[in-house]
Each structure stands twice: as C-alpha cells, then as structure tokens.
C-alpha cells in the first residue's frame, strides 16, 4: 500500500444496523470501532471525514477530531438497503483515501461500488471485492481486531491496545453517577454494576437467576455495593442489604454508559453495556448465549470471566455459575 503521508484527506464510512435494529446493538459497535478511529487520527490528524450516524458519532467519538461528520442517508428500496449517494458525494469529493468499515455484504454493496466509481480515490480499503485493498471478514477474529486490519495495513507495528481508551462520559451522566455512587461507596469500598438487559431480546437471560447470585456476592464481600440498571429487576429479600443495593429503573443508554464507566466490576449478558465495560477495561463477568460467539463479540480488553450457554435463551446458566464467577473475579482483582 502507498505511504499514508501521501493522502490529503481521508473518508471513513461506517453505518451499523438495519432499519428496526435495537439501538443498543448499533451503539455497541460504535464503541468498538473507537480504537480504530483513534489509531487513524494518530496517522492522519484532522484530515478525516466521518460518514455515518452523525448524532451517535458526535457523542461517542467526541475525543476524535474530524474535519467534519456527514450523515449517511440510508433508504430501503424494495426490501434492499441502499446508501443515499447524492447526499454524501459532494461532501467527500476531496478524499483520496476511502476506508469503509461496514462488514455485511448486502444491497448497499452496489451503491458503495458506484460511490467509488464516482470519486475515483487514490486508494480504498474495505470488506468488499471492489475495494483496492480488501479486508478479511473472519468471524474467528474479535470484531475489534477485524476492524483494526485497516490500521495494520498502513502501520504493521500498530497495536490496538495502545488506542483503547473509553470516550469521555457525557456531563449529565456524570452528575447522576456522582450522586448514586457517592451515597453507596464507602471508603475502600467498590461498586458492581449489573446490566441484565441484553442487546437483543432473543439473548435475554431469565432475571430470576440474578438475585440469589448477587446476595451470595454481598455475603462474601462486605465492602461491595451493587447498582442494578433495570426496570424489571426485583429484589426479593426485603430489607436485606438495602443500604448496599440500588435498583436504578429510569435510565438511558447515556446513563448506562456513565454507570458502567465508573464501576469497579460489571455483570451482564452481551449488550452495549458489556462492550462499554470492555472498552473501559472494567473487570467483568459476561453471559453469552448460543447466538453470541465469545471470540467475535465477547471481551477483548477487560479482565473477565465469560459464561457461555448451550441454548439460545441461556436457560442453563445457573445462580451458582454467576456467583462463583463474580467471586473469582473479585478475588483476582483485590
């Protein structure tokens, strides 16, 4: 590949999720491509144009300095997902390097090929055959490593771990977290954040396995307090540990992000919260169903224990497995 210093302007194309996808699934992957964007900024400085979901990018990618962020319009045409070329062509005419991080091969492939034909960039990188440099789609790699291939092409010495830093937590989230964590966390104490909601409903684990597991952990660790982010979770032990467990039932993704980023430990199924914990390197216990390959969408950076179910509904995950994984995790990090 040509020397990276020869490119005047770089366009990063990324739009995750189909129409109707859960927001958490979309947000998760935006957190996970953060290290790639930080590495690319180290190469290209302020010469990057990001094309994707503008509202999400402005918040999650806030530490990365883009020349500009352009909304990627997507429409469904006869059931086929297509990129709105006219809306972005004029915004990226100057770019002589195009990097596309979309991994699926669908109806938008034809549109992206047309985009390259219109622009005739000096170089292009992506997961489609029509890019000058094709990246390997390998489900045996972790998602983060698969995305980082584009960086390794230009700098084989680059290490993804050097660019893993969680983005700045939004101000509103910080204020809420400060209030709750401040009332729970005694001197020398620690906080376990539990986010029992999965990214997709088909990956939900039954809430009934959590209370007993959490009670066992509270029994074992006197300085531990717990925050549960759920509108459906119920604590069945009356006043037991009422000063050490808080159920926060009015939360947004922004608030979840803030709580997880300030946690000492994390517990939950595959979700945007789990990926946030990973990016912030929060020691974690993750729960994965049959639809959640741990090597592709599990932890990559955080100290962790991963519980893998043999069924789709994760009904075989037990209270004992969860409490023991948490016990081992906490003991390992003390």
Q: What tens digit of pLDDT does each residue of 312-322 get?
A: 777 889 999 99
Distance CA(65)–CA(47), nearest Å, equals 9
Give yes or no: residues 126 and 238 share one domain: no
- Dihedral angle of Cα 314, 316, 320, 323, to the nearest 10 degrees: -10
Distance CA(321)–CA(334), nearest Å, equals 20
State the DSSP code for 133: E
Give yes or no: residues 253 and 291 share one domain: yes
Give yes or no: residues 198 and 325 share one domain: yes
Give yes or no: residues 158 and 212 share one domain: no
Tokens encoding 198: 């999965």
Residue 66 CA from chain centroid, whole number = 20
Distance CA(174)–CA(130), nearest Å, equals 44
pLDDT in tens, 87-118: 788 899 999 999 999 876 555 567 788 889 99
Distance CA(143)–CA(147), nearest Å, equals 6
- CB under 8 Å to 9, separation ≥6 — which residues? 47, 48, 49, 67, 94, 95, 96, 97
CATH number of the domain residue 132 falls in: 3.40.50
Give yes or no: residues 10 and 149 share one domain: yes
Give yes or no: residues 280 and 144 share one domain: no
Give yes or no: residues 98 and 186 share one domain: no
Locate tokens 């489900």: which residue?
139
State the DSSP code for 249: -
Report the first-to-last Cα separation within the chain, whole angstroms.
Answer: 47
- CB under 8 Å to 148, separation ≥6 — which residues? 35, 36, 39, 158, 160
pLDDT in tens, 282-308: 999 999 887 667 888 899 999 999 998
Give yes or no: residues 66 and 203 share one domain: no
Percent of the chain with pLDDT over 90: 44
CATH number of the domain residue 236 falls in: 3.40.50.2000
pLDDT in tens, 189-205: 899 999 987 655 555 66
Strand order in the sheet with 97-100: 68-71, 48-52, 10-13, 97-100, 123-126, 133-134
Q: Which of 141, 163, 185 is the C-terminal boundary of a domain?
A: 163
Give yes or no: residues 91 and 158 share one domain: yes
Cα-atom radius of gyration of the chain, to the nearest Å? 21
Contact 29, 182 (CB under 8 A): no
Mean pLDDT of the chain: 85
Distance CA(2)–CA(25), nearest Å, equals 35
Locate tokens 């962020």: which residue?
69
- The tally of domains found in the chain comes to 2
Please give the residue range of the domain that contains residue 235.
172-333
| pLDDT the model gives residue 135 | 95
Q: Which of 121, 139, 163 is the C-terminal boundary of a domain?
A: 163
Query: What does each C-alpha distance from 259 to 27, 169, 241, 267, 293 come to in angstroms?
Result: 16, 9, 20, 12, 26
Query: What does each C-alpha distance from 262 to 59, 122, 240, 259 come to in angstroms?
Result: 18, 43, 25, 5
Q: What is the DSSP string of 257-292?
A: HHHHHT-SEEEEESSHHHHHHHHTT--EEEEE-TT-
pLDDT in tens, 200-220: 555 566 778 899 999 999 999
| pLDDT the model gives residue 39 | 95
Distance CA(311)–CA(288), nearest Å, equals 10
What count of other Cβ atoms lies within 10 Å of the Cβ of residue 334?
Answer: 8
Q: Which of 135, 163, 191 is the C-terminal boundary of a domain?
A: 163
Distance CA(264)–CA(221), nearest Å, equals 13
Give yes or no: residues 35 and 128 share one domain: yes
Handedness of CA 59, 61, 67, 71 (dihedral sign): negative
| pLDDT the model gives residue 294 | 81
Give yes or no: residues 76 and 204 share one domain: no
Distance CA(323)–CA(334), nearest Å, equals 16
Please report which confidence band the pLDDT of residue 20 belongs to, taking 50, 70 and 90 as the band edges. Answer: very low
Give yes or no: residues 52 and 198 share one domain: no
pTM: 0.88
């Amino acid at each position: 590949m040509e020397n990276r210093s020869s490119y005047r302007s770089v366009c990063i194309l990324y739009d995750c999720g189909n129409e109707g996808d859960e927001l958490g699934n979309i947000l998760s992957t935006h957190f996970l491509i953060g290290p790639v964007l930080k590495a690319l900024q180290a190469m290209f400085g302020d010469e990057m144009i990001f094309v994707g979901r503008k509202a999400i990018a402005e918040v999650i990618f806030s530490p990365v300095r883009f020349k500009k962020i352009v909304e990627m319009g997507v429409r469904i045409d006869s059931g086929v997902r297509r990129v709105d070329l006219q809306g972005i062509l004029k915004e990226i005419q100057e770019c002589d390097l195009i990097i596309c991080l979309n991994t699926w091969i669908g109806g938008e492939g034809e549109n992206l090929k047309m985009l390259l034909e219109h622009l005739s960039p000096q170089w292009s990188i992506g997961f489609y055959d029509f890019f000058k440099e094709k990246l390997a789609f390998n489900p045996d790699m972790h998602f983060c490593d698969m995305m980082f291939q584009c960086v390794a092409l230009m700098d084989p010495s680059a290490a993804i771990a050097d660019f893993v830093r969680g983005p700045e937590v939004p101000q509103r989230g910080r204020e809420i977290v400060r209030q709750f964590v401040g009332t729970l966390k005694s001197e020398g104490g620690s906080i376990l954040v539990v986010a029992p909601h999965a990214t997709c409903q088909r990956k939900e684990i039954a809430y009934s396995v959590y209370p007993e597991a959490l009670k066992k952990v509270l029994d074992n660790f006197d300085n531990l307090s717990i925050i549960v982010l759920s509108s459906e979770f119920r604590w069945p032990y009356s006043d037991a540990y009422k000063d050490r467990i808080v159920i926060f039932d009015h939360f947004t993704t922004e608030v979840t992000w803030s709580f997880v980023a300030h946690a000492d430990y994390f517990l939950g199924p595959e979700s945007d919260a789990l990926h946030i914990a990973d990016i912030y390197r929060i020691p974690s216990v993750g729960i994965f169903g049959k639809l959640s390959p741990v090597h592709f969408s599990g932890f990559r950076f955080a100290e962790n224990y991963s519980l893998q179910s043999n069924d789709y509904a994760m009904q075989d995950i037990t209270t004992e497995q969860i409490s023991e994984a948490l016990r081992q995790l906490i003991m390992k990090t003390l």
